[in-house]
């Protein structure tokens, strides 16, 4: 009976770890606001309302000012866990203001980020030589993400499994195929 209890405990712990590993919104990005805006185009259409916003993307530029840090972000759509979708095209740019000093190394250009904050309107600045109208926000929470790569290998398997002797010879000498999968974590 002790082995059965131990087995049940291991299964329960495994299930809990699996459920915990499933995509869920990080606490620093959580909001109880039912009118939270999570789409860039919706935010642009509601700039005058100054809604609470959760958006993500790629950091393009970081500028430290006297009392805050200006972070220019190239918007990428986010999923329900707040992760930017690196397989989709950017939909625009926005500026997120962080209170105080934030080290530019921590928010380095090219990093993936999701920010939560209150919209403050818009400002005009340049992207190269082009004048661009940036929606702006004051950040109340954020999460930096990293891209993990893993390789998936596809093997040919014999019809005989487990395979012994001559039936297995063709498996060991076939070329392998694979692909790199990129996940945001």
Distances (CA, A) of 107 to 71, 101, 110: 8, 11, 9
Place of tokens 């500026």: 95
Residue 41 resides in a domain: yes
Give the pLDDT score at 173. Answer: 45
E strand or H helix that includes residue 140 = strand 130-145
Give the pLDDT score at 183. Answer: 79
Residue 20 resides in a domain: no
pLDDT classification of 2: cutoffs 50, 70, 90: low
Evaluate if residue 22 carries a pLDDT over 70.
no
> CA-based Rg of the chain, rounded to a whole angstrom?
23
Same domain? For 125 and 170 the reply is no
Give the pLDDT score at 32. Answer: 94
Same domain? For 96 and 171 the reply is no
- The domain in which residue 31 lies consists of 26-145
Evaluate if residue 63 carries a pLDDT over 90.
yes
Give the pLDDT score at 20. Answer: 46
Residue 6 resides in a domain: no
Give the pLDDT score at 163. Answer: 58
Same domain? For 124 and 47 the reply is yes
pLDDT classification of 50: cutoffs 50, 70, 90: very high
Same domain? For 137 and 165 the reply is no
Averaged over 108-113, what is the pLDDT? 96
Give the pLDDT score at 180. Answer: 75
Residue 98 resides in a domain: yes
pLDDT classification of 9: cutoffs 50, 70, 90: low
Averaged over 4-24, what is the pLDDT? 53
User: 21 in the Ramachandran plot: left (φ > 0), alpha (ψ -120 to 50) or beta?
Assistant: alpha
Same domain? For 139 and 171 the reply is no
Same domain? For 106 and 170 the reply is no
pLDDT tens by residue, 132-184 = 999 999 999 999 999 887 776 655 554 445 555 555 555 544 456 667 777 78
Averaged over 65-89, what is the pLDDT? 96
Averaged over 31-59, what is the pLDDT? 95
Give the pLDDT score at 49. Answer: 92
Residue 137 resides in a domain: yes
Pairwise CA distance, residues 181 & 78, whole Å = 18
Same domain? For 39 and 116 the reply is yes
Q: Chain-wide mean pLDDT for the chain?
A: 83
């Amino acid at each position: 009976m002790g082995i059965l209890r131990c087995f049940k405990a291991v299964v329960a712990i495994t299930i809990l770890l699996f459920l915990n590993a499933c995509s869920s919104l990080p606490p620093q990005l959580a909001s109880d606001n039912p009118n939270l805006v999570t789409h860039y185009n919706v935010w642009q259409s509601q700039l005058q309302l100054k809604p609470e916003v959760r958006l993500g993307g790629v950091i393009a530029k970081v500028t430290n000012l006297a009392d805050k840090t200006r972070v220019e972000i190239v918007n990428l759509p986010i999923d329900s866990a707040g992760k930017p979708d690196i397989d989709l095209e950017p939909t625009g740019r926005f500026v997120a203001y962080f209170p105080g000093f934030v080290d530019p190394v921590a928010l380095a250009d090219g990093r993936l980020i999701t920010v939560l904050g209150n919209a403050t309107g818009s400002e005009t600045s340049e992207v190269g030589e082009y004048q661009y109208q940036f929606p702006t926000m004051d950040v109340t929470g954020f999460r930096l993400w990293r891209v993990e790569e893993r390789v998936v290998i596809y093997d040919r398997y014999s019809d005989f499994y487990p395979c012994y002797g001559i039936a297995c010879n063709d498996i060991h000498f076939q070329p392998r195929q694979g692909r790199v999968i990129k996940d945001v974590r």
